[in-house]
Structure formats: C-alpha cells, structure tokens
Amino acid sequence: MSIAYRIDRLPLGSFHWRLLAVSGVGNTFRSMNVGIISYILASLIADWNLTPEEAGAVGSIGIAGMVAGVALVGALADRLGRRFMFGLAVVVYTAATALSALSWNLLSLLSFRFVTGIGLGGGHPPMLTLVSELSPARHRGQMVMLLEVFWTFGSVIAALVAYLVIPSLGWRMAFVCGAIPILYAAAIYRLLPESPRFLLDKGRLQEAEDTVRSIEAQSGVEHGEALRPLSTNGAGSAISARGNLSELFSGEYLKRTACLWILWFISSYAYNGIFVWLPSLVVSAGFSIVDSFQFMLIITLAQLPGTVVAGVLVDRIGRKRTLVPFLLLCGISCYLFGLSTSAESILLWGSLISFFMLGSRGLTSAFTAELYPTRLRSTGVGSAGAFGRLVGIVAPMGTGVIVAQTGGGFGFVFIVFALVLLLGGLDVAILGEETAGQSLEELSA
C-alpha cells in the first residue's frame, strides 16, 4: 500500500487540525511581522527625520529579503526537510526582528530588515509544502486555503500592536513584539512531523513508516501495509533523483512553471500595487485621511470571508473553476472601483476587490503546491513566489508612475489592474491544470 494512498484515505482528525493550527499560527506571525513595518515607518520618519526615499528603502528592503528567502529556503527544504527549514525560518526572522529594535542608524536597520525578509519569505515554501503533503487529497485545497485565514488574523494583530504599543512605548517595542514568536519554533519541531513523502523520497523508509503509523493512529484508522518505495509504477528505488531549478523549465513542467510564474507575477503586481496605494488614492479622490483609514479597515475585513468562500469552493468545484472566476471578478471590481465617486461605491467595490483578491491569492498557493513532484515541490513553490515578489518590489513604484502621469486620479490606475487580472484569469484558463481530488503523485507522474 503506497504512502500516497495511506495519507490520502485518512479522514480529517486531530492530527490534521493540529497541523493546521501550528502552521496557521506561523502564518499569522509572518503576516504580523510583514504588516507592522508600515506602522513603524510613520514613527521612524519623525524620530530619524527620514526622507521619503529613505522611508521607501525601509519598506522595500524587507521585500527584497523575502525574494531571496523564498527562493533559497524553498530549494533547501527539498534537500534538508520541510519541518527543519520551516522552524529555521522562524528563528531567522524573529532574531533579526529583535535586532531591528536595537538599530542605531538607517544602515543597521536596513541590514536587519533584509535578514528579517529572508526568514519571512523563507517560511512560506516549507510551510505550504508540509501542509500539502500531509493533507488528504480530498481536503488538501481547504487545508491550504485555511492557512490564508490565519494570514488575515496577522494583519489585524499588526494593527492592534501599532495602536496599543507604538504611541506609548515607541517603535522599538513594536519590533520586540514581533520577535516574541522565536519561542514558537520549538512548537514546530515538537508538534509537527517531517513529511513522510519527503522521508521516503530520501530513502528514509523506516522513519516514513513510523510517521504514517502515528498519523493513522491519531486519525483513528487501522495501520496500512508497510510503505513501499515511491515511484510512478510502484517499483524502483525509494531515493529519487535530486531535483534542480532547471528541471522546472523542461518537459512537462515547463507549461506548469509558465502558468504559475505568470500567475504569481499578476497576483503580486495587483496585490502590492492596490493595497500599498489604496489609502492615498482614496485621499486623492477628495476624502479625508481619517475617512481613508476607516475605509481601509472595512475593506481589509472583507479579506476574511473571501478566503473562507474560496476555501469552501476549492475542493468542491475545483481549483481552476474557482480561481478563474475569482480573478475575473476581482478585475471587474477594480474597473468599477476606478469609476467610483461616492463613499458607498468606494466601500462596495473596494470590499469586493479585497474579497476576491485574498481568495485568489490563497487559491494560487494551493494550486502551486500541487504541480511538482516531491523532489521539486518546495523549489517550485519558492521559485514562483520569488518571481512574484520581485514584481512586488516594483509594483508600488509602477503604480506611482501611472498616478503621476494621469494627474493623481485613480480611474486609469484601476483599469490597468483590471486588465492585469483579466490576463491572470486567461493564464489559468488556458495553461492551468485541474488538480482537485488527485493524489500529489498522480499530479506529478
């Protein structure tokens, strides 16, 4: 009985909920750390008399670190293990966040934030891969989508830390709060197992067998037969060939890689371009900054139901049949937002942008983790994410150029976002493969 069958046949049980909880808390901490810097910047500008260019550098350097981290750690997770690199990434970004609280000048802060970004970006591929490889096939999409719900929680916590801590205790204490999750790395190693698929792929058959037996016991299922080596025809060596980045662009994987890189490009461009500029664009339309922040609170809260709805649909009607409509409807919402002139229309279409945007980003993560074999899975996730985050660095600047060229209005800006998201829907519709309900081994065979 193969490892794929024994994992995929399991009902959701205590093990899977613990897997989701521990991984999800990790995603919450990542989100909080990513979000808190925008609030810290407001205080830093006053304390250190930063120029706009210097403040922009503080914001961008973390994204640059995430580009490096998501690619580097993604590749290492395919060699050293998902759980090990997930925990190590937490240690890196929390330790660097603690050092950020001790920054004595701009250069030191930029250095620490770059290292923080490496850990923040690096935590995504092994976390996503671990959850995908340990989830039953019929529930895999929902499990990955629920990770995005935890990301939304982190955004809320970042806002609360900013509101409660920075005014009274200063920006350094906000960094200290961001470093608290360093204790969480121990929970990863204690409460989560290594992926049996990874263990088997590395020839560690007994460890893989022991892990699957433990999961079966926690799920109330009788043990299956001892694991046999994993291959596409049921025979052969348990140790697969070592994957490398070039394989992502060869044979059957070329089409998949093209689809995913285009998708991550579009997702990052739209997400970063929209949400970095949205408050300022609302102000440019004649609303006060207080109104803008109130609008953003309501619009941000719409992310949660969007992720939940996408999570319900992803395993019921499929990845493509959910992702394509979400991208297209997000594009339509952007177009109509660009035509908005009243507070009510801004709130309506802005909330729908948020709803469909976060749902589509969660679907993108679920989709990406399913299209490569075990030896390449984390590398594939990491490389696609790195490519997307490269765009994330330039998207706010590109949006700023468009705003400047169009006299400060946001109508044309959101027409551009609408066209970009339409391209994303076409990309998935034409190049994407449906993955719902299939074993990871079937998808990568």
Task: Express each pLDDT in 298-348 by its tens digit.
Answer: 787 888 888 888 888 887 888 888 999 999 999 999 999 888 878 888 889
- When mean pLDDT is compared over 5-14, 98-107, 174-183, 429-438, the highest value belongs to 98-107
Same domain as 417, residue 288: yes
Residue 272 in domain: yes
Same domain as 291, residue 178: no
Same domain as 291, residue 209: no
111 pLDDT above the threshold of 50: yes
Query: Any alpha helices (H) in 1-51, and if so which ranges?
Result: 3-8, 14-48
Closest by CA position to 123, among listed 27, 40, 230: 27
Distance of CA 430 to the CA centre of its chain: 24
pTM value? Answer: 0.71
Range of the domain at 99: 1-220
Q: Give the pLDDT confidence score for residue 236 in this predicted structure.
A: 36
At 239 the three-state DSSP class reads strand
Same domain as 112, residue 3: yes
- When mean pLDDT is compared over 37-46, 65-74, 269-278, the highest value belongs to 65-74
Lookup result for tokens 């529930």: 139
Residue 238 in domain: no
How much is the average pLDDT of 69-92? 86
Residues 360 and 375: their CA atoms lie apart, in Å, by 26
399 band by pLDDT with thresholds 50, 70 and 90? low
Residue 235 in domain: no
How much is the average pLDDT of 14-18? 89
Same domain as 169, residue 71: yes
- pLDDT digit string (tens) for 115-146? 999 999 888 888 888 888 888 877 777 787 88
Query: Any alpha helices (H) in 202-318, and if so which ranges?
Result: 205-218, 253-284, 289-301, 303-314
Same domain as 349, residue 393: yes
Q: Count, in order, helices (H) and strands (E) of the chain.
A: 20, 0
Residue 233 in domain: no
419 band by pLDDT with thresholds 50, 70 and 90? very high
Same domain as 295, residue 186: no
Same domain as 258, residue 215: no
Higher pLDDT, 418 or 307: 418
Same domain as 98, residue 134: yes
Same domain as 205, residue 270: no
The structural domain count of the chain equals 2
Same domain as 301, residue 209: no
Q: In this structure, what CATH number is given to the domain that contains residue 286? A: 1.20.1250.20
Same domain as 316, residue 213: no
230 band by pLDDT with thresholds 50, 70 and 90? very low
